[in-house]
Amino acid sequence: MVTPQSTVDSRYRVPWARRGSVLDHTDLAALTEVVQSGDPLSQGGWRTRFEERFRAHIGSRHAVSVTSGTVALELAIHLLDLEPGDEVVVTPQTYQGTIQPLLDYDVDVRFCDIDPVSLNLDPDALRPLLSRRTKAILLVHFGGYPARMDEIMALARPRGITVVEDCAHALGAAYHARRPGALGDLGCFSFHSSKNITTLGEGGMITCHREDWAERLERLRSNEIDGTFSSAPWPADPPVALPWMKYSADVYRHSCTGIRRAGTNATLSEAAAAVGLAQLDKLDALVERRRAIAARIDDVLGGYPFVRVPTTPGGVRHACHLYTFFVAEREIRDELIRVLDRRGVEIQLRYFPLHLTPEWRHRGHGDGECPVAERLWFEQHVNLPCHPELTDDQVRYLLDVLDDSLRELAGSVPRPSRRPRRIPCR
Which residues form the interface with ligand PLP (CB under 6 A)? 68-70, 94-95, 97-98, 140, 166, 168-169, 190, 192, 204
Per the CB < 8 A criterion, the answer to whether 42 and 65 are in contact is no
**Coil, helix or strand at residue 183:** coil
Nearest position to ligand PLP, beta carbon: 69
Nearer to ligand PLP, 138 or 336 (CB): 138
Name the residue type at position 224.
E
Nearer to ligand PLP, 15 or 204 (CB): 204
How many Å apart are CA 148 and CA 143, to the nearest integer? 14
Name the residue type at position 194.
S
Longest pairwise C-alpha distance within the chain: 89
Nearer to ligand PLP, 37 or 100 (CB): 100
Q: Going by DSSP bridges, is the β-strand pair 204-208/186-190 parallel, antiparallel, or unpaired?
A: antiparallel
How many Å apart are CA 273 and CA 320, to the nearest integer? 24
What's the gap between Cα 258 and its chain centre? 32
Nearer to ligand PLP, 328 or 354 (CB): 354
Closest separation in Å from C-beta 200 to ligand PLP: 12
Closest separation in Å from C-beta 313 to ligand PLP: 22
Closest separation in Å from C-beta 111 to ligand PLP: 16
Closest separation in Å from C-beta 95 to ligand PLP: 4
Closest separation in Å from C-beta 363 to ligand PLP: 19
Q: Which residue in 89, 316, 60, 291 sits closest to 189, CA to CA?
A: 60
How many Å apart are CA 352 and CA 41, to the nearest integer? 39
How many Å apart are CA 195 and CA 287, to the nearest integer? 11
- Between the CA atoms of 209, 213, 214 and 217, what dihedral angle is there, to the nearest 10 degrees? -140
Per the CB < 8 A criterion, the answer to whether 176 and 316 are in contact is yes
In eight-state DSSP terms, residue 105 is: S
Nearer to ligand PLP, 69 or 353 (CB): 69
Closest separation in Å from C-beta 202 to ligand PLP: 6
Closest separation in Å from C-beta 67 to ligand PLP: 8
Nearer to ligand PLP, 65 or 405 (CB): 65
Nearer to ligand PLP, 98 or 269 (CB): 98
